[in-house]
Structure 1
Amino acid sequence: MISRILTDWVEDVAQVTQPDRIVWCDGSEDEYHALIEQMLREGTLLRLNEQKYPNCYLHRSHPTDVARTEHLTFICTPKPEDAGPTNNWMSPEEARERVGSLFRGCMRGRTMYVVPYLMGPPGSPFSEVGVEVTDSPYVVANMRIMTRMGTIALEHLGNSDRFVRGLHSLGDLSPERRYICHFPEERMIWSIGSGYGGNALLGKKCHSLRIASVEARDEGWLAEHMLIIGVEDPEGRVTYLAGAFPSACGKTNLAMLVPPPALSRYKVWTVGDDIAWLRFGPDGRLWAVNPETGFFGVAPGTSMRTNPNAMIALSRNSIFTNVALTLDGTPWWEGMSDPPEYAYDWQGRPWTPTSGRPAAHPNARYTAPARQCPSISPHWEDPQGVPISAILFGGRRARVAPLVYEAFDWTHGVFVGASMASETTAAATGKVGVVRRDPMAMLPFCGYNMADYFRHWLRMGARSSKMPRIFHVNWFRTDASGRFLWPGFGENLRVLKWIIERVNGGGEAEETPIGYVPTPDALDLDGLALSKETLRELLRVDPHDWRREAEAIAEFFHQFGDRLPEELWHEHRRLVRRLG
């Protein structure tokens, strides 16, 4: 039996949007393949080489609709200070007038799909239902990969009125009429004018982070932009870590890491690559689940060398968006392999290596089922989640941050996360290569004032003596010529090994003004050709650079005014004193 509250809401939406017909999605295999065949007929999808990429398809989005549009993403609360200075704010009244009017009649001539979905494992106290209404079959197909969609969600919902309401329409795909609006107090999302994943798959960033972060604040848990992995040592002990990295900064590669030959007796298990919901367990520890069931990964740079597990996961039952197409009907992107002699680029135009433009869009994506990943953890769908021993913060910094350091304590760790910065990537529309503060990698995804978000983190730490240890990592430090000093990818396990040793009471470290840094002989570098000079540079903490960094952190903090927790200013003053 379907909730009457849900059916009433769907009827209200239909009266406004006026679709030709309404389809309630059940999430079945037959339904999925019927949608695929429909999109193949309409030209929305192209079938890829069935022998090499079985049940895989290519979608080309509109050239103006290729990434999250953060400047058109709004938090709609009664007071602007509740959204905070790092979010775009719009009053609910203005949103209903300005954006609501765009939905009137927007689905005429189209089918309205009702997509119930479950975020989190079935039967888990973490899990919650959302319902997305959309006129895009591409969105429906992707939501089936990314979430537990259809009947299973309706069964979880029952007669409850507790579900996130998501309304999405392609509209006319005009950037002038493109909005993504979040109403945290009503647990509602409106998105119009975009078919791109992050703007249109409402279960992903919109629900799982922007709306869920507000729920987490109110209910005493954390909704975070984090991977979850389990590192199994040669004795069979598994230590679970969560990690926050901005988009396209190596998060997916770390989530699916393959150990290097020197550490072949270790195993890295993938629990999730993008989103973590963390709650206290009965033992006082933080336990985490991955609410998703798929990977929405950045394709360029992904290869059998950088991420073989991802390549295997995406090789079947997957949807590719804005990649290039080779003459034999296979997907290709920069960094995957040697370029083909001839292909069609992400817009369908003829392309050769001498064309002078990328074949795949820099933010080209694959949507692949998580269950296909060879490293998927046997516990990835455990209802209680997995216990987190350490939290990693990281980003892309060419100069300032060392390879790894540990925070002095939880409060200092919150300061480290609140002040972290990264160089921007193509995942969000805007300039590339600019350093911007991205606290906990949540700047684009926090659904309320980030000063209050920092306070929530501090309060979480006060509730338990068993909080995870906090570390900062930076795989991207370069030398004067711009060459990466650290090999990265699978070799990052050497850093994780030291982190796990620290968690377990070992791991040699030197106290520095910014935290505990490994001593030169603390990292297991067996089999790695890394000079002592390079290692010294990787671990170096330059007081001059960090004094400038402290100034930049203060400038970032000042925008929050009196709302910023005093504890963070206290940590800032302590950092400045330690730097001398």
Structure 2
Amino acid sequence: MSVDPNLLTPFKKTPAGESSLREISADAYYVINEVVVKRLGHLPIYKGDFHLLPPKVQRFVAEKAELMRPRGIYICDGTEHESEEIVDKLVERGMLSPLKAYHNNYICRTDPKDVARVESKTWMVTNDKYDTVCRTAEGVEPLMGHWMSPNDLSTELDSRFPGCMAGRIMYVIPFSMGPVGGPLSKIGVQLTDSNYVVLSMRIMTRVTHEVFDVLGNSDFTRCIHSVGLPRPVKQRVINHWPCNPDRVLIAHRPPEREIWSFGSGYGGNSLLGKKCFALRIASNIAKDEGWMAEHMLIMGVTRPCGQEHFIAAAFPSACGKTNLAMLEPTLPGWKVRCVGDDIAWMKFSKEDGRLYAINPEAGFFGVAPGTSKKTNPMAVATFQANSIFTNVAETADGEYYWEGLEDEVKDKSYHPNSRFAAPARQCPIIHPKWEDPQGVPIDAIIFGGRRPAGVPLVFETNSWLHGIYTGACLKSETTAAAEHKGKSVMHDPMAMRPFMGYNFGKYLQHWIDLEQPGRIMPKIYHVNWFRKSAEGKFLWPGYGENIRVIDWIIKRLDGVEGIGKETAIGTVPTPESLNLDGLDGVKLDELMSVPKEYWAEDAVEVKNFLTTQVGEDLPAPIRNEMEQQEKRINDM
């Protein structure tokens, strides 16, 4: 049997930055498999059977093993025995410590230089720069996306990845974003030399050998991760946390469905199923296939009458997204159930024209500071067992501690960039359909951010197009999740600024194109729980009281008349339409006001932002919405 010799060349020499992931025929596979096995040489397989992997996964693993030179391969299967084995090793080494006050909870600490998200070192790699970033005004640095050329990426990868796993085990993690085999689900295979990543990916994604069974003719996203510290280590390792913070690189190759991550072992930098795959790569797939990959929670809200509505909401980090997804209503008879707290994959049904959403994740990776029994009791209940805490404090009694728990725990130390990872199935109010492969039907989309002044508690946008424009104008105070310091208000369009996978102008056009005959478009709203008085106090109590805003939104969905007042920016509640029973001291007039001077200044600033940041890539319909709103504001 003969085989094209070019198929074998990647095994002779494959630069790290060069893709050699050609599909191979069944006839050619036997010959190539022999080459694969030979190239692996005496590399031990610590767990699993390499020969049982699908051919394209074998090829992927073999190529990268040859490149990164691990001391062995460990093929993960997602079993409890696997988890126990890894946990025991990490406890023995000192990376993990059990939190003795809970069942199967563990704590670890990173090197302080290794933070959960490093936007300045996160890149999208395309041949055409403007597939990634917009045509900004001259001298203006793009805020939405960082572009790197394929040639530059090759240079960067070749300076990092050869031999980077020396002395370490390479873990092969098969994972599904969404229920395995579901119509909206996608498959990934991550290679990593971090045990912490294996444990975290087991929580955050569906790690199972069944993933390989459903690959079939479909492709998978290739995720390559290394902490970037080969053995023998010639530098001090802080907190038993291997990393290489000076050489961090997180690079995405959307056309190849490939992610390369080096130097960091923490958060979205290393759990490549999260933002890297679920948003940056998935948004590219969604554009190509006609669906949506968004930074949104999904919640089911049931009224006292028993009718349920599903809502998706996009907030920047630390704006209460998880709190809303797990809201405990203060109004009698209402019930909220969580489908997801961070990411929504959504597609319009050909059968009924509605937008259906799934939560592609299997866990919650939450910001710890501010999470308490007061702010989010459901999240606290979720992570009482089988969870991993990173960079939180530990009390003498073996409890976790962070800012916001002062009334519950006496110790007073914490880390602002601390996280918890907990299985979603443990959430007391997880929705029965949270793993329904068909998804749940979305009736409304909400945008929101931390806006201390000028922005009303809630308003409904005028149309799908106006809703897109409102989302494009989203702003919020910055948080500890990113590198930005202080509390300046920053643009965060669609809450996707750090996670954009392609040109933002084309992203807006994709949203526009989704509105088609026969489709039932969700109504779009904007909320602001964080408006303050002149004295600097919050005007709205928030938390469980936010159900009162959801109540108004659902009334609007039902077409209840006389509950809305039109303004230049959209429809706000009339004074009597918001249920304030049992609430005292709410200054509704101030909370709902749309001050002309504020919005006139905002219109100028937004126009400058969209003109300089999106430029000629701004779709004409969005430019028209901008001009119409500016005129309405000037006519106030």
TM-score (norm 1): 0.95
Displacement of 1:42 after TM fit? 1.0
Q: Deviations over 1:332-373 (max 9, x none)?
A: 11102437555xxxxxxxxxx4xxxxx221121100000110
The equivalences for 1:540-559 within 5 A come to 540-558=593-611, 559=613
Alignment of structure 1 residues 16-415 onto 2, 5 Å: 16-49=67-100, 52-84=101-133, 85=142, 86-158=144-216, 160=217, 162-172=219-229, 173-260=243-330, 263-281=331-349, 282-338=351-407, 340-342=409-411, 353=412, 359-415=413-469
Alpha-carbon deviations, 1:97-145, whole Å to 9, x = none? 1123201111011010000100011331001100110000000000001
Residue of structure 2 in register with 1:356 after alignment: none
Letter in 2 for 1:535: L
Return the letter of the residue paired with 1:520.
P
1:536 to 581, 584, 589: 589
Alignment partner, residue 346 of structure 1? none
Letter of the 1:27 partner, please give it.
Answer: G
2: distance between equivalents of 1:117 and 1:59?
A: 24
CA–CA separation in structure 2 for the residues paired with 1:566 and 1:161: 36
DSSP 3-state at the match of 1:475: coil
5+ residue gaps, structure 2, are: 1-51, 134-141, 230-242
Amino acid at match of 2:516: A
Count of paired positions: 558
Asked whether 1:515 is paired with 2:597, we answer no
| Deviations 1:164-189, CA, capped at 9 Å, x for gaps | 00000011433321010000000000
> Which letter does structure 2 place at the counterpart of 1:545?
Y
Aligned residue for 2:497, secondary structure, equals coil
Task: Please point out which of 476, 480, 484 is paired with 1:426.
Answer: 480
Q: Give the aligned partner of residue 495 of structure 1.
A: 549
- Residues 136-157 of structure 1, C-alpha deviation per residue, up to 9 Å, x if partnerless? 0000000001111021211221
Deviation at 1:431, TM superposition (A): 1.7
Match of 2:46 in 1: none
Equivalent-residue separation in structure 1 for 2:542 and 2:469 (angstroms) = 26
Contact 1:133/1:168, CA 8 A, preserved across alignment = yes
Give, in angstroms, the shift of residue 464 of structure 1: 4.3
Structure 1 counterpart of 2:491? 437
Correspondence for 1:527 among 570, 582, 601:
582
User: 1:102 is paired with a residue of what secondary structure?
Assistant: coil
Deviations 1:231-264 (A, max 9, x none): 011121110000000011100000000011xx13
What is the CA distance between 1:560 and its match in structure 2?
Answer: 1.7
Give the C-alpha shift of residue 430 in structure 1. 2.0
Aligned residue type for 2:329 = P
How many Å separate the matches in 2 of 1:75 and 1:363? Answer: 25
Identity of aligned residues (%): 51
Secondary structure of residue in 2 paired with 1:78 = coil
Q: Deviations over 1:406-430 (max 9, x none)?
A: 0000000000001111111001112
Matched residues in 1 for 2:452 and 2:277: separation? 33
2:516 alignment counterpart: 462
- Contact map agreement 1:6 1:161 (CA 8 A) in 2: no
Amino acid at match of 2:619: P
Q: Distance in 1 between matches of 2:213 and 2:311?
A: 32
Distance in 2 separating the partners of 1:155 and 1:530: 59
Gaps of 5+ in 1: 343-352, 354-358
1:416 aligns with: 470
Please tell me whether the aligned partners of residues 452 and 563 of structure 1 are also in contact (alpha carbons under 8 angstroms).
yes
Measured in 2, the distance between the counterparts of 1:232 and 1:326 equals: 39
State the distance in 2 between where 1:119 and 1:110 align: 27
* Structure 2 Cα separation of the partners of residues 462 and 114 of structure 1: 42
Any idea what the Cα deviations from partners look like across 1:76-98, whole Å, max 9, x if unmatched? 01121111132111111211111
Specify whether residues 498 and 189 from structure 1 end up closer, same or farther in structure 2 by C-alpha distance, changes over 3 A only.
Answer: same
Check the 8 A contact 1:75/1:90 in 2, yes or no: yes
Distance 1:439 1:152 in 2: 37
* Cα distance change of structure 1 residues 177 and 304 upon mapping to structure 2, 3 Å threshold: same
Residue 543 of structure 1 aligns with an amino acid whose one-letter code is: K
Q: CA deviation at 1:462?
A: 3.2
> What SS does the corresponding residue of 1:242 show, helix, strand or coil?
strand
Given that 2:476 and 2:490 are in contact with CA atoms closer than 8 Å, whether structure 1 keeps it comes out as: yes
- Do the aligned partners of 2:105 and 2:386 also contact (CA within 8 Å) in 1? yes
Query: Is the contact made by 1:225 and 1:274 (CA closer than 8 Å) also made in structure 2?
Result: yes
